[in-house]
Amino acid sequence: MSDRKAFLTLEGSDAAIELPVYSGTAGQDVVNIAPMASNNLFTFDPGFTATASCESKITYIDGANGVLLHRGYPIEQLAEKSDFLETCFLLLNGELPDAEEKKQFYNTITYHTMVSRSIELFLNGFRYDAHPMAIMCGSVGAMSSFYHDSLDISNPEHRMISAHRLIAKMPTLAAMCYKHYIGQPYIYPDNSLSYSENFLHMMFNTPCEHKEVNPILARAMDRIFLLHADHEQNASTSTVRLAGSSGANPFACIAAGIAALWGPAHGGANEAVLTMLEQIGDESRIDEFVARAKDKNDPFRLMGFGHRVYKNFDPRATIMKQTCDEVLEALGVEDPLLKIAKRLEQIALEDEYFIQKKLYPNVDFYSGIILKAMGIPVEMFTVIFATGRTVGWIAHWNEMLSNAYKIGRPRQLYTGAPKRDYPG
């Protein structure tokens, strides 16, 4: 694997520590720093900005050039030619399904969408105004108490059964979180509908009224799920891997991922976009807030612009912009916040400041607008993100368990008090 070496020499020492250098299929080479430990040295990398925590074959990101590949396939091609469930199969299995595999996989997911009646009773224990992410995190963790037949993480078949159950049941749980939040009865899955149609059916229908799902909205939701399916070693995926390295069951690991995703710096970014639009409030105030965003002494930031990984453009944003335009045209909504959003988009794409800083609208900006236009409250945005990301989490969890792995155990730079004696 390694045909090159790096050497670390400490000032004042003649000895050099030999460190193997590994090359992947694409991307940066990595230095194996494990030999440093035997020399009583650790690296210091807050935020893991220069640390490869694992080896993976699932997703590759080239942030400088705006590239996102799932198992080698560009995200643009998957969004155009594939759909969410086929992408799920790809992430889990490494290859696209043939016709028979696709039929069988879709059938498996469709007929595992129902959840135990006891889950409904469990959800009723949450306060009437509980945040949907709190309900989602708790209910996914609780699912481990229902499926004792497939919790042997050393068994590949058990792992795949759990993967199918999680992918299938997440939209059902997400819709139930929403219904509990707004005080409506739960709506059961409909096996005649596609994955995304079914989710919208469970979200917006009631026992009193059944409405057909708009195919443009269903396609938009499918793209939202697909574009959020995986994003390499982000905070929530790393959390799932770390929890999984302890031998925890899959439902506990995914619940840990949901908890990490809940943070506003991660999955809550599209919710922050709507909060920002509400703060601006009116089109007449846009120039004022744009000026504040340009002022380095002002803490205000335009949410939904730029990305920590993508230094040029987010390839998912281009697809999401097209989807956003389709949804707004189909719905013909006249929402003041959406008008503000469209004007901000125009400024970001034309203003020299944003162009030079490469602060282009990202996937969170457009997905927030789409979900708002569809009538989904901001409290549900991260729940929907979690529904799409579940397949990525479970694919990384399964990949880790399929290979030799160690329990995650980062070290630290200790800056506390030295050893001292108790007084008296």
Listed residue (240, 281, 173, 227) closest to 408, CA to CA: 240
Q: Cα(87)–Cα(84) distance, rounded to whole angstroms? A: 5
- Neighbour-count burial of 175, counting CB atoms closer than 10 A to its CB (0-12 exposed, 13-18 middle, 19+ buried): buried
The answer to whether 139 and 255 are in contact (CB under 8 A) is no
Q: Helix %, strand %, coil % for the chain, to 5?
A: 55, 5, 40
Max distance between CA atoms of the chain, in angstroms, equals 80
Q: Which two tokens stand for residue 168?
A: 């299938």
Where b means 16+ CB within 10 Å and e means fewer, 272-304 reads bbbebbeebeeeeebeebbeebeeeeeeeebbb
Listed residue (214, 210, 174) closest to 194, CA to CA: 214
Contacts with 319 (C-beta within 8 Å, 6 or more apart), sequence order: 75, 76, 79, 80, 223, 227
SS3 314: coil
Q: Which two tokens stand for residue 96?
A: 């696209």
| Strand blocks (E) in 103-250 | none
> Phi first, then psi: what are they for 209, rounded to 5°?
-150, 130
Place of tokens 């034309």: 350
Catalytic machinery residues? 266, 307, 364
Pair type for strands 67-70 and 73-74: antiparallel
Place of tokens 């340009």: 294
Listed residue (29, 25, 37) closest to 4, CA to CA: 29
